[in-house]
Chains A and B, each alone.
Chain A
Amino acid sequence: MIWKQLRLPLLAFTGSLVFLVLGRVAVVPKVEATAEVSLNFPQDIPLENWQSVKNISPTNFESPLPKADQSYYYQKSTIPLAIEMRLLRSGDAEWFIEKKYGIYESSLVLRQQDGIGSYALFIYRERAYLSTCIVPWGGSTFTREEYTQSQALKGISWQRVMPWLMGQAPLREQGCLWAHLSVPLENLSPEVAYSTLENTWFSWYEWWSFYLSSSQFLTQVDPTRQ
């Protein structure tokens, strides 16, 4: 009974809403939905067992990559460690390794760490590298397939639906924070270099996941959390 009385007002309400939106759609200027990714990189990050240094020698080891958003240098006895951090809007760190180092998936050592995610190891001109990308929804991925899959599964949340509907933000979170660690192979065998990089990466990730959860990275990647 109540429904019979309610139906007409409901239809009238819907109809008015439709015409309001029509009016707005007809006049509103067009803006593109983009995700702005930016991050305040801290100057000094403590790293267990490593001594933070301003520079390592050789400072400018031959890197084919564009300038890092922030570089970090550490020293442990005779081993110098360089960590380059970059924000990638594409989320595709694999692309840089392919294009800039000419190293493809088949010649990479891809490993998986429980609770974090995957990372890639490779050797280029007497240096051992560990490369992986920290994704905004937690964890790390390296290959673009992994990134896309992980994004499709976890990059989406209920808070994002409203801004997506309004055209203010993409439905899925985008981009990642690319960590690129390297040590020279002068005094190290590749196996030792790899395990050094791996152990460093695990504590490095721990620091960053805590930092990201409390920093502006997520708020700026994701306007819904402002």
Chain B
Amino acid sequence: MKVTYPIVTQQFKTSPFWLLTIGSGLIAIHVTLAWRGDNLNVLGAGILFWVTVASMIWQRRYSLKLESSAIASGVGLVIISLILLRSLALPARGTFYGLMPLLSGLGVGLLASDFRGLKQYWGELTALFFIGAPELVHLFIPDISPITAKFSAFLLWYLGFEARLRNQVYIDLPGGGVEVYSGCSGIDTMTHSLGLAVLFLLMFSSTKWQKVIIPIVALGIGFTVNIFRVVLMAALVSENQMKAFDYWHKGDGSLIFSLIAVFCFGGFCYWVIQQNESKQNELQQSDLTGN
């Protein structure tokens, strides 16, 4: 007698089903940790990046090579176990949390496609790295706040304020002063914009030239928007508007600048896409007319 299973239970007997379960579970853990730790920046960006990565995988689901050796699976299992154990402590910040998306990707990748198969996920893994990049960036990059302070003081002076730079990071104005500490250096906004640039390059086709220029523009927008933020802070302190200062510094206002940076970069990307499309149209036109 042949036993027939309902369709649902048959899914349990396929490895892609379980790989999907593991992957989505790890995503849910990462997002839940950000949510429980009130890490709103990572929560927002994380969801965007995870959705992108998931859709990139989903589009290629029939062409992926899904075979893995015992050794690779063992390594993958160890990585995932580390993530699970560490997750029990509810981290929402820090180096390990920053590495979690990339480690999750590596773990699932090894379980799914062996060491050699990891190649097919390089784009996804890059995107995953950028989810955690704001937590990791200080490990690689020195504090850029003196540069931020210098540009901000210059802009303030240009706008007509009597701004003076002291000890590299202190901007003194007649009515008060601000210290540009590492949290205000803009490196977070820059990393975030760079991550978006990477997503854009992964999702849309682009020329070699664009591959260079888009990340640079992203970094530039992040840096510039932050300069304006610091200038606004300094001006508010100078005018003794402390309530407004708190709103723009720590309150909802601080998120608005991230929003502005994202919008600026979004606009730039839109323009790039239109450029590419019109070029494409021209080529098609010339094909049609036979020139």
Contacts and interface: CB of A to CB of B under 8 A. Distances in A.
B21 A18 contact: yes
Interface in A5-57: 6-8, 10-12, 14-15, 17-19, 21-22, 24-26, 28, 30, 33
Nearest to B80: A14
B2 interface: no
Interface stretch (B39-47, B66-74, B188-196, B251-259): B66-74
A30 B36 contact: yes
Given A11-B22, A166-B89, A18 B69 contact: no
A15 B12 CA distance: 11
Contacts of B81: 17
A25 B33 contact: yes
A3 interface: yes
B25 A15 contact: yes
Is chain B's interface secondary structure helix, strand, loop, or mixed overall?
helix
Which of A21, A28, A167 gathers most chain B CB within 10 Å? A21
Given A7-B15, A10-B77, A25-B36, A18 B26 contact: yes
Residue of A18, A19, A26, A162 with most partner-chain B CB within 10 A: A18
B85 A165 contact: yes
A165 B89 contact: yes
A3 B69 contact: yes
Contact of A167 (B29, B70, B80, B90): B90
A202 B77 CA distance: 50
Interface of B: 12-15, 18-19, 21-22, 25-26, 28-29, 32-33, 36, 68-70, 73, 77, 80-82, 84-91, 111
11 contacts: A3-B69, A12-B18, A18-B22, A18-B25, A18-B29, A21-B87, A26-B32, A26-B36, A30-B90, A162-B85, A166-B88
